Every structure is written in C-alpha cells, then in structure tokens.
Amino acid sequence: MKIAIGADHRGFELKEKIKSYLKKKGFEYHDFGTISNSSVDYPDFAFKVAESVADKHFDSGIIICYTGIGMSIAANKVKGIRAALCLDDLMAYYARAHNDANVLVLSAKFCDLEHIYRKIIDRWFSEKFEGERHIRRIGKISNYEDSTYRR
C-alpha cells in the first residue's frame, strides 16, 4: 500500500511521528510536506495529497492540520476524493466501510498521539469498503461531482 501524507505547520510534528509509525507497519509513503512548523497555507498540502490519490499514484492519503476541518474542505474539492475527518476509530470504520473514503484527515488538536496510532490509523487501514447499498450512495456523489450543475 502506497500512502501520500501531508500536513500544514500545525500538523507537522504529528505528521513526522505518523511517518515513523507507517514505516514500522511496513507501509510505503511519500511526504508532500510541509517540512517544518513555519506557517504555511493548508490548502497547498491538501491539494497535493488529494490530487496524488485521485490520480491513482497512491492508494490512500493522510493529511493533518490543527482541527482537520480546513484540510477536509480543501481535499474534498478535488474530483474523486472522499476525505474524512476521523477523530476516533469508529469514525475511521464508517469512513472506510460505508463511504469508501480515500483520504484520512487527522486533527493535531483533538486526538492524542496514542489514540491516533493504535486506533484510528490501524482501523483505517484494516477496514474494507462494504459495497452493496453504499455503492449507490457514493455513485450519487460522483454523479453530482461530474454534473454540469453549478450554483
């Protein structure tokens, strides 16, 4: 499994720790930045990760900012991305099993490190999309995304 990972300045330290965890678990990853805790704009990193997943260069993405909200909003602007902010392992389960989410969004503020490692990330990568009735729902999202309707 190839993972794209990125963070803004508020998520930088957590990203570095997650990279070590991913390596320990045997995952291949590419770090799209940022490279320090100096102030940057979160959309730049959300877009890089989301585009790399949408283009199928990576199987999944992880993006981190202070709350996770900004990264979620930005990543979900990329066609084909279903980015899910997960604050616990149950949210990670539903994001993968029901929504076939392909980008995990984490909060550096609202999740403790041990919970992120042992529960959220492990659950995210262990769950599979259930398909069935969820395919229809995801299809509606994709169809809307492809439509010419714009406000």
- Cα 9 versus chain centre, distance: 17
Residues 67-94: tens digit of each pLDDT? 999 999 999 999 999 999 999 999 999 9
Please, which pLDDT band fits residue 116 given cuts at 50, 70 and 90?
Answer: confident
Is 115 annotated in the active site?
no
In 3-state terms, what secondary structure has residue 2?
A: strand
Residues 6+ apart with CB under 8 A from 35: 12
Beta bridge partners of 62: 5, 104
The model's pTM: 0.93
Given the residues 9, 30, 57, 98, the one annotated as active site: 98
Give all domains of the chain, ordered by start, each with its CATH number: 2-146 (3.40.1400.10)
Q: Which amino acid is at 42?
A: Y
111: left (phi over 0), alpha (psi -120 to 50) or beta: beta
Please, which pLDDT band fits residue 149 given cuts at 50, 70 and 90?
Answer: low
Please, which pLDDT band fits residue 51 given cuts at 50, 70 and 90?
Answer: very high
Q: Any idea which residue has 């260069």 for tokens?
A: 57
